Amino acid sequence: MLDMTTKDIKERSGITINPCKTCEPVGAMFCALGVHKCMPHSHGSQGCSSYHRTVLTRHFKEPAIATSSSFTEGASVFGGRSNLNTAVKNIFDMYDPDIIAVHTTCLSETIGDDVGSYILDMEIPEGKYVIHASTPSYEGSHIQGFSNMMMGFINYLSKQTGTKTGITALFPGWVNPGDCRELKAIAKAMEVPVTMFPDFDNTMDSPMTGHFEYYGAGGTPIPEIGRLGDASSVIALGKFASGESFDLMQKKFHISGASLPMPVGIALTDRYIMALRKISKKEVPSGLEAERGRLVDLLMDATSYTYKKTVAIFGDPDIVYSLTSLCLEMGMIPRYVVTGTPKSEFETLTRELIDSYNLEETCEVKADTDLFWLHQKIKNDEVDLLLGSSYGKYIAKAEDIPFVRAGFPVLDRYGATIQSVCGYKGGVYLAEKIIDALLSRYDRDVADEDFECVL
């Protein structure tokens, strides 16, 4: 375990210990899996593709399909054009996808493969598509790879005819299938027709039917991606996963809208619903108001057990920002808030969020760091709760801290991807997990004379 981690903190730039991120191609592959009948393709070695698939498969507990250019020594020296041409032909012949989404790896990026020009020279079957995105593994994180692939789809497929569809383009960011369903349900309740892109509903959580299919029934259809240029507005959720695509929609198609944080908790879900209300001009339905009221009631009921509890939050920047907002609403102190994604804007936005609560306690926010740094900080000033991906379990065990799993990846628990953390319902789900973890620790540590059935 990590019991021997020292308290002596030193700045490190040349080495990462216990990373708080993974590589860009993982994000690109995940984004492509949110498109209907899309085959993600890794332009590199088989080992790279196998790793990316493994990470996604372990999180979703579903097979993440993908293919590879299968680089060997020859392709590494002379380039991968021949490998990619052969792969594309074989993929269409064997797996019959509607589209192949090619992402690069560190190997193909280092040797300088011009994948865009390769695609221009290919013979692609009628009615089929091949797109690509540049996703070198040695920079950014899986969040940047996700963003790059989103922009690849838009640049290749989306057109503008001048006739508005009346549809709102909804970019959910890096979320689970359960979140996609909840975000669409809220939009439907607000009477706003949306095209969600990418859409993981019924792709990475396909129900058991007894029949094997390569592609799930869900995912954003290619024609709908093609019509994004005629969308009437755009709502992008998650500044770091969807923000660049939002900017692209504004610059390329001059479509206005809102770029918002992931709607987790009360305030951030309010912002999402108000953005929908601005589009629909409709009143918020009583059902959503009731859901909000139940979340507020839950947080108030549990205040005595969450107030002033310290929490360390880590993971991807979008979910970490939103989890921080929820914890602040619960009266908790986000002592440490960290992400491995190298985005300095994360620090600025998160500090502004924390400062808006006028806390007396010190809170540290850090981007482009790792879990070893977080562990050292906790060694010096312990927290009451750890909140983040499964990789935090080693710190939780070493320091005997209650741990709630959230974000990506969750490898050692089941069912989380089917649930939603977004919306008021998702807030209830997350708040319950946090409160239960704190109460379980209270029950474990309390003196016998204070051990009660009613808390």
The model's pLDDT over 207-226, given as tens digits with 9 standing for 90+, comes to 888 888 888 889 999 999 99
Is it the case that residue 74 has pLDDT exceeding 80? Answer: no
Burial 107-146 (b: 16+ CB within 10 A, else e): bbbeeebebeebbeeeeeeeebbbbbbbbbbeebbbbbbb
How confident is the model over 239-249, as a mean pLDDT? 97
Is it the case that residue 2 has pLDDT exceeding 70? Answer: no
Is it the case that residue 1 has pLDDT exceeding 60? Answer: no
Sign of CA dihedral 70, 71, 73, 78: positive
Q: What is the pLDDT of residue 111?
A: 87
How confident is the model over 175-192, as a mean pLDDT? 97
How confident is the model over 156-165, as a mean pLDDT? 94
Confidence tier at 5 by pLDDT (50, 70, 90)? confident
The model's pLDDT over 101-158, given as tens digits with 9 standing for 90+, comes to 999 998 898 888 899 999 999 999 999 999 999 999 888 999 999 999 999 999 999 9
Is it the case that residue 60 has pLDDT exceeding 70? Answer: yes
In percent, the amount of the chain with pLDDT more than 70 equals 100
Is it the case that residue 16 has pLDDT exceeding 80? Answer: yes
How confident is the model over 252-275, as a mean pLDDT? 97
Confidence tier at 91 by pLDDT (50, 70, 90)? very high
4 burial via Cβ count (<10 Å: 0-12, 13-18, 19+): exposed
99/339 Cα distance (integer angstroms)? 33
CB neighbour list of residue 55: distance below 8 Å, 6 or more residues apart = 22, 26, 409
Q: Please indicate whether residue 262 or residue 81 has the higher confidence score (pLDDT).
A: 262
Q: What is the pLDDT of residue 416?
A: 87
Domains of the chain: 24-157 (3.40.50.1980), 168-283 (3.40.50.1980), 290-449 (3.40.50.1980)
Is it the case that residue 78 has pLDDT exceeding 80? Answer: no
Q: What is the pLDDT of residue 72?
A: 83
Q: What is the pLDDT of residue 39?
A: 97
The model's pLDDT over 275-324, given as tens digits with 9 standing for 90+, comes to 999 999 999 999 999 999 999 999 999 999 999 999 999 999 999 999 99
Q: What is the pLDDT of residue 295?
A: 98
- What value does the mean pLDDT of the chain take? 94
The model's pLDDT over 365-399, given as tens digits with 9 standing for 90+, comes to 999 999 999 999 999 999 999 999 999 999 999 99
